[in-house]
Amino acid sequence: MAEIEQIFRQNRAWASDRTDKDPEFFLRLSRQQTPKYLWIGCSDSRVPANEIVGMAPGELFVHRNIANVVVHTDFNCLSVLQYAVEVLKVEHVVVCGHYCCGGVQAALGHSECGLVDNWLRHIKDVYAMHRQELEGLDEAERTARLCELNVKAQVQNLARTKIVQHAWERGQKLSLHGWIYDIRDGLIRDLGVRMDDRSLIPEIYHFAIASEETGVPA
Ligand SMILES: [Zn+2]
């Protein structure tokens, strides 16, 4: 129990430190949250979202899962995305992966780990799409590159959702970003896959929008 009690002691010290620096901090936060960013990251304990971007409570809406995957049948992730975009009106959605990702490493292997194997199938699919490039690399490079390609694929998956496409259709300011964090030096790198509209989404994934004469109701 000592370990658990320690957590509560740390919490009291943190809350007291916060209040000393800004007596209104918790009162202000209790009234509302107005984050500008939705962060979709890995559950890995070494990648704490707020901490690595130096943001305080209230500044970042966060969704984390193993290997930062965005799946169009995952109602958890989609609920977070919809709430962030339509209610909180975040202006940026960031998928931030990281090098040395255990989920990506497991997806490259063939061991059975339980339910998570179904989840990691999505990363195997990314591998299959880029097999030729990946098989030309050595093992370390291949893992690192798959971490990057996985982030890029998840940004595409975000753009293919109705939630994001409808936001763009309404003229809502919303940018998607793909970043990668390096556990070895603490730095984040932008993978240069920013999307601000539908222009980079393959047409088959476009939903009909009211301004287009498609004959299909929006
Ligand atoms: Zn990870």
In a domain, 61, yes or no: yes
Give residue 213's pLDDT: 47
In a domain, 47, yes or no: yes
Instruction: Establish whether 100 is a catalytic residue.
Output: no
The segments of the chain whose pLDDT lies below 70 read 210-218
**Domain CATH for 38:** 3.40.1050.10
Distance 197 CA to ligand 1 centre (A): 28
Vertex 146 angle, CA 99 and 168, to 5°: 95
**Which of 41, 113, 44, 107 has the alpha carbon at shortest distance from 80?**
41
- Ion ligand 1: residue ranges with CB closer than 5 A: 42, 44, 101, 103
Tell me the one-letter amino acid at 202: P
In a domain, 2, yes or no: no
Residue numbers belonging to the annotated binding site for Zn(2+): 42, 44, 98, 101
Residue numbers belonging to the annotated binding site: 42, 44, 98, 101
49 burial type by CB count under 10 A (0-12 exposed, 13-18 middle, 19+ buried): buried
Rounded Cα gap, residues 179 and 192, in angstroms: 8
Instruction: Establish whether 42 is a catalytic residue.
Output: yes
Distance 86 CA to ligand 1 centre (A): 28
Rounded Cα gap, residues 192 and 196, in angstroms: 12
In contact, 196 and 155? CB cutoff 8 Å: no
Give residue 33's pLDDT: 86
**Which of 83, 16, 14 has the alpha carbon at shortest distance from 51?**
14
Give residue 32's pLDDT: 85
List for the chain the helix, strand, coil content (%; round to 5).
50, 15, 35
Instruction: Establish whether 9 is a catalytic residue.
Output: no
pLDDT tens for 113-171 read 999 999 999 999 999 999 999 999 999 999 999 999 999 999 999 999 999 999 999 99
In a domain, 18, yes or no: no
- Tokens for 169, please give them: 């259709």
Instruction: Establish whether 101 is a catalytic residue.
Output: yes
Catalytic residue (choose from 17, 22, 28, 46): 46
Distance 96 CA to ligand 1 centre (A): 10
Give residue 1's pLDDT: 81
Catalytic residue (choose from 44, 77, 145, 147): 44
Residue 92: CB atoms within 10 Å: 16
Distance 103 CA to ligand 1 centre (A): 5
Tell me the one-letter amino acid at 144: A
- Could you please report the per-residue DSSP string of 170-197? TT---EEEEEEEETTTTEEEE-S--BSS
In a domain, 179, yes or no: yes
The number of domains in the chain is: 1
In a domain, 84, yes or no: yes
**Which of 35, 56, 47 has the alpha carbon at shortest distance from 180?**
47
Catalytic residue (choose from 63, 101, 145, 147): 101
In a domain, 4, yes or no: no
Distance 65 CA to ligand 1 centre (A): 8
Three-state SS at 92: strand
Give residue 217's pLDDT: 46
Instruction: Establish whether 206 is a catalytic residue.
Output: no
Give residue 209's pLDDT: 74
In a domain, 86, yes or no: yes
Query: What is the DSSP pairing of strand 187-190 with strand 92-98?
Result: unpaired
Domain extent at residue 43: 34-99+150-205
